[in-house]
Amino acid sequence: MGLKLTLKNIPEEFTNGWRERAKRNHRSLQGEILAIIEEAMLPSRLKVEDLHAEVRRMGLSTPDDAMALIRAERDER
């Protein structure tokens, strides 16, 4: 049997953010909070969302771009 958990005095900015995120992901608020907890349990290297965000931040669009970036970084060493 799973754990029953009650959270109290959660700041409104958190609850509003969770509700918005749940709506974007087509989940209930409870389902979204569970997804957030599950995501937090993954090792950071496995968080696909973080990886996608980093790739977008770096402006990479093709494997060739990534290879060029890796080569340039290695050459700097």
Structure tokens at 34: 């569970």
Tell me: do 27 and 48 sit in the same domain: no
Tell me: do 32 and 15 sit in the same domain: yes
pTM exceeding the 0.85 threshold for the entire prediction: no
- Rounded-to-integer distance, Cα 40 and Cα 34, Å: 10
Tell me: do 72 and 48 sit in the same domain: yes
Domain-embedded: residue 65: yes
Tell me: do 35 and 60 sit in the same domain: no
Tell me: do 58 and 31 sit in the same domain: no
Q: Which domain holds residue 57?
A: 44-77
Domain-embedded: residue 2: no
Per-residue pLDDT tens, the chain, 77 aa: give them: 788 889 899 999 999 999 999 999 999 999 999 999 888 887 666 567 777 787 788 877 766 777 787 888 888 87
Question: What is the count of structural domains for the chain?
Answer: 2
